[in-house]
Amino acid sequence: MTLKACKKEEKMDRGFQKKFKFEGSINVLTQMMVDPAATEKRGGAKNLPLRRGEILDVIQFTNQEQILCRNSQRRYGYVPRVVMLPL
């Protein structure tokens, strides 16, 4: 990685920690896939946009309905558990 790309990622991670009030280091717990039969959704204020079959990094299992995830573009947001499948 170049220095510029590394600094950009650090800035995005700090923004994520501030927006979601996340403390500590960002560790990927596991990877999960968006159900190919699920409907695609746009993202919202804190929701991650969903694409069928997309593989997401799970950052935190927040509650029974949502999971905090990161997509391949390093965007963070909540995803409903009902549309997630284990790999």
Residue 20 pLDDT greater than 70, yes or no = yes
Cut 0.95: pTM above it: no
Q: Which residue range(s) make up the domain with 70? A: 3-86
Q: How many CB atoms lie within 10 A of CB 34?
A: 23
Rounded mean pLDDT of 74-78?
89
With 0-12 / 13-18 / 19 or more C-beta atoms within 10 angstroms meaning exposed / middle / buried, residue 13 is: middle
Q: How many domains does the chain have?
A: 1
CATH number of the domain at 30, please: 2.30.30.40
pLDDT of residue 29: 92
Mean pLDDT of the chain: 88
Give residue 1's pLDDT: 65
Side chain identity, residue 87:
L
**pLDDT tens-digit profile of 30-70?**
999 998 988 888 877 888 998 888 999 999 988 889 999 99
